Amino acid sequence: MAHLKTHGMAPRIREFRLPELEAGTVEDLLGGGYVEVLHFTGYDRNLLDLTDGRVEDCLFSELNIGELSMRNARYIQCEFKQLSAPIVEGAGATLNDVRMIHSRFGSAELSDSSTDSVVFDHCKFGWVNLRSAQLRDVLFRDCTFDEIDLQQAKAQRVRFENCRTGTLSVERANLSSVDLTGLEMSQVQGIEGLRGATISEQQLSSLSHEFAAYLGLRIKD
């Protein structure tokens, strides 16, 4: 069952500094090749297909993309600022040492993805699908979600700070040192999947009916 502690183990976020960057073009990103040390900014496109690409030491800023495809792509030491994408197709993507700041996403398909040392700061999500994803050392700060789907996900040292979601789905999730005390949740699906997480006493109280139903208990008024 969830541990009743104030703080869980903090994510181990590795700091990095981007080198001096040259201006990049859309053509640099297409074709699934290797891209490094470029700054991409000011794009307004219906579709940006980055499938199978490898991107390292790059900055993306002020991008408005109708559909962003990053399936099976790999991002290493990259920063995203003011990215808007109603549709994100990122199944199988790998994010290592990535910062995502002041960005907005609609449906974010990130199933089977891998994230390691990643910070999401002041981001807004609709539905984020992290089914069967692997999350290690991830920090969500000042983020809002309509729904977070962590079914069958494996998460280690993940923390939410000043975040809120309508629904959190954790059926068959494997959580270790996951701090949910900073996540306001309206509904939890698969309450047994919270094993290994840290919640507050207030959250335990608000989820009492879900825990009682899981344990087969009746609560008498």
Provide the pLDDT confidence category of residue 137 given band limits of 50, 70 and 90: very high
Query: Residue 66 domain-assigned?
Result: yes
pLDDT in tens, 198-214: 999 998 888 877 877 77
Q: Can you tell me whether residue 201 is helix, strand or coil? A: helix
- On the question of pLDDT at 186 being above 50, the answer is yes
Query: Residue 220 domain-assigned?
Result: no
DSSP 53-117: -EEES-EEEEEEEEEEE-TT-EEEEEEEEEEEEEEEE-TT-EEEEEEEES-EEEEEE-TT-EEEE
Query: Residue 221 domain-assigned?
Result: no
Residue 4: the pLDDT is: 36
**Mean pLDDT of all residues in the chain?**
92
Structure tokens at 173: 């999730």
- On the question of pLDDT at 2 being above 80, the answer is no
The pTM assigned to this predicted structure is 0.91
pLDDT in tens, 14-26: 999 999 999 999 8
Indicate which CATH number applies to the domain containing 29.
2.160.20
Tokens 């999500």 locate to: 125
pLDDT in tens, 78-120: 999 999 999 999 999 999 999 999 999 999 999 999 999 999 9
The residue among 114, 214, 132 whose CA lies nearest residue 172 is 132
Residue 203: the pLDDT is: 87
Cβ neighbours of residue 220 closer than 8 Å, sequence gap 6 or more: none
Query: Residue 177 domain-assigned?
Result: yes
Query: Residue 32 domain-assigned?
Result: yes
- On the question of pLDDT at 5 being above 70, the answer is no
In terms of residue numbers, what domain contains 56?
3-215
The residue among 10, 15, 16, 55 whose CA lies nearest residue 32 is 55
Query: Residue 102 domain-assigned?
Result: yes
Give how many domains the chain has, as a whole number. Answer: 1
- On the question of pLDDT at 6 being above 60, the answer is no
Q: Is 64 exposed, middle or buried (0-12, 13-18, 19+ CB in 10 A)?
A: middle
For residue 47, the one-letter residue type is L
